[in-house]
Amino acid sequence: MGKEKTAEPTEAEELPKTIVRRLVKDKLSELSTDGGDVILHKEALLAFSESARIFIHYLSATAHDVCNESKRQIINADDVMKALEEIEFSEFVEPLKAPLDEFRKKAAEKRVGSAKAKEASKKRKTDENTTTENGKDKDKADNEAKDVENGVEDEEEDDDENENENENENGNGNGNGDGEQVSEDKDDVDDS
């Protein structure tokens, strides 16, 4: 009695029309024997787009079921391949294996490259830290060499010199080590 409502796809579900048009035109031009340009009517483009969208939904739902049967929550490429066989599109499996293998190979190379980059970065940081530490050690050695050239030999002699200076400040070298001055009374000394 009432109008039958069809579910219209939301904007997020719509496939980009330019990509659908390009895919269809490229394929039809490959199949065309006369080599002429193929013209698509708007309705035909809409039919291709809707068909592809429905196929993607159907394949996604089947792959989800395959994944659930395996008691997993993440759909992987093998689930999609198995889903293609279940919905009786097994002729698509073989042509899809080559690009999938190529993708996996590139991903593996990328992981190896990423691991090598991380390793190189760690090595570079370690080298920088070592260089910095060696630079500090080198600076210390250079300063010690300059001190030797200037007449200062090492820290022990510096400490001895500081001790002698303290004694001299406390009364002509008559210090008792506590910084107190030892006094000599001239009256106690016999001048005879």
pTM value is 0.51
- Write the pLDDT tens digit of every residue in 63-94: 999 999 999 999 999 999 999 999 999 899 99
Q: Decide which of 179 and 68 is more confident.
A: 68
Which tokens is 190 given?
């016999």
- Rounded to the nearest 5 degrees, what angle is found at the Cα of 78, between the Cα atoms of 76 and 82? 125
In angstroms, the CA 10 to CA 94 distance is: 33
Give Cα 108 to chain centroid, integer Å: 16
Which tokens is 15 given?
């496939």
Domain boundaries, the chain: 17-88
**Is CATH 1.10.20.10 the right assignment for the domain spanning 17-88?**
yes
- Going through 92-191 in order, the beta strands assigned E by DSSP cover none
pLDDT at 146: 64
